[in-house]
Structure 1
Amino acid sequence: MAIDLKTLNHSQLNELISKAQVRQNELRKEKVGKLREKIHAMIKAEGYTFDDIFGGKTAAAGKRRSGGVVAPKYKNPANPEQTWSGRGKRPRWFNEALKAGKSEKSLLI
């Protein structure tokens, strides 16, 4: 199928390019599907599951772990209900206590 590109006008070239890109994406999806089937067949032939090999949905690459609750490390001497884990931005009461001459060690729980 030879197409003489010199005979096509601008809109015809754009249409040809868009059709070619669509077809290219279709071919890529077909190839990925076949590869996926081969990988699943190999895993099954060895007696494993996909999750055994690749670690399930929660261990997906690039995902951040959700932060759990961290035990408090410091407490406000004026109000013991106010605590801070030592992570993130310092609370106002912590900064004020430091300005008042307290040390970080004296604020430890």
Structure 2
Amino acid sequence: MANHNSNNEANVLHPHITPMSTYLKVAGALFGLTFLTVIAHHFNAQLGAFAAPIAFLIAAVKATFVLLYFMHLKDDTNMNRAIFATGFFFLIVLLLFSVVDIVTRVVEVSPL
């Protein structure tokens, strides 16, 4: 017989049981967003400068679904959410520094 402890310690693993229907809905949304990405790619020329922001927005929504449901951040503690948010914050800082570096470069003309 399994031993069921009634104490609520912080170190005890409490699994979060998510219904299969939720996983199927999220998977369907991910497939739909992937299909939307393919459609957006076909209209790349018409979207012009908005093509990249739209692609990044779709990717961000897909990443949010994966983080919340498949990585169980929806049911996790605020500390783990803060750790993930900090990682994304520093990723954005890295990308911003890269963009600033590229934009502020001086074009060199070869004397030859």
TM-score, L = length of structure 1? 0.30
Looking at both structures, which has the greater relative contact order when contacts are Cα pairs under 8 Å and sequence separation is at least 6?
A: 2
